[in-house]
A = this chain, B = another copy of it.
Amino acid sequence: MGSGFIGVEMADELACNGKEVTIISGSKYILQNSFDKELAKKAEEILLGHGVTLKQGEYAKTIIQKDGVATGIELNDGSIINGEVLILATGYQPNTALAKKAGLKLARYGGIWVDEYMRTKNKDIFAIGDCSGRRDFITREPSKVMLASTSASEARVAGTSLYKIKYMKGFNGTIAIFSTMVGDRAFASAGITESEAKRQNIEYVSATFEGMNRHPATIPDATKQSVKLIAMRHSGRIIGGQVIGDKEAGEMINIIGLAIESELTIYSIISLQVATQPLLTSAPTTYPIVKAAEMIAKEVS
């Protein structure tokens, strides 16, 4: 149950180890919070190729049990899916009982309210990690993102602010940056998706560039590489990115993440100097993050 990256990673691992797996999800496509449909579909194809069954768009109504053991799920549409093991990958809620007892303020979704330096309403008490109340870097909405890397970043901010606030400006909201493997392809995302930008009524432009991760493309381990960028229509400020590729995609998303967090625009990316090497990257003339930025610039010009 659940088609976020935990559900997807589990399903793929189990299917590749010979298990019969069905992903049940209320979403219309997998990885919905991090990827737009056309990219998520590529991950779905890999899962389907590994024999995973996708049951999407229907929420679970009841967990069917026999002698206290789950034996199946009844969906909203009345259909029943039987199985031997049920894995819940539907997200978590912070356990903030202690914080509540201490009289600390809680944020929406029940996390402990913190300021940019990870201080709670009691400035001698800090909260970091999945128990802290998070806000999205771009939308400023409360965020349900729970990532180890976000927690590690919060920890660094808290650590350098414990005795004195050493560095401005602390932690200015989560940019939901993460990567995963589906089969032998890396899927990575940072910032907000196009569909989230729509929901938030943001005036955005997006573009996707498809290229190769080596040059020339005849190099033995060369594979396809896709980069989607989402930027504000008027300022050109980058607010989201998605990458599909070989393992280097895990670091390429950190380039986009740095651009988002540093409030850069597609215009700085257009003149960006990048290292390229036949065995390691795309060609200098088709570096995909730069090309996607160019496509957006053309669209808005």
On A, residues with C-beta under 8 Å from B are 147-153, 155-157, 160, 166-168, 170-171, 174-175, 177-181, 186, 188, 190, 247-255, 257-259, 261-262, 264, 267-268, 270-277, 279-281, 284-285, 287, 290, 294, 297, 301
- Contact partner of A148 among B151, B160, B284, CB < 8 A? B284
Q: Give the chain B neighbours of A186 by CB distance below 8 A.
A: 277, 279-280
Task: Please determine whether B152 and A277 come into contact, CB atoms closer than 8 angstroms.
Answer: no
SS of A interface (majority): mixed
Copies in the complex: 2
User: Looking at the complex, which one of B168, B175, B275 makes contact with A253 (CB distance below 8 Å)?
Assistant: B275
6 contacts between A and B (CB under 8 A): A179-B276, A250-B279, A258-B259, A258-B264, A262-B262, A262-B264
A268: B residues at CB distance < 8 A: 261-262
Within 8 Å CB of A290, what residues of B?
Answer: 156
The answer, among B170, B255, B294, for a CB contact under 8 Å with A258, is B255
Nearest B residue to A264 via CB reads B262
For A294, the closest partner residue in chain B by CB is B156
* A279 proximity list for chain B (CB < 8 A): 181, 186, 247, 250
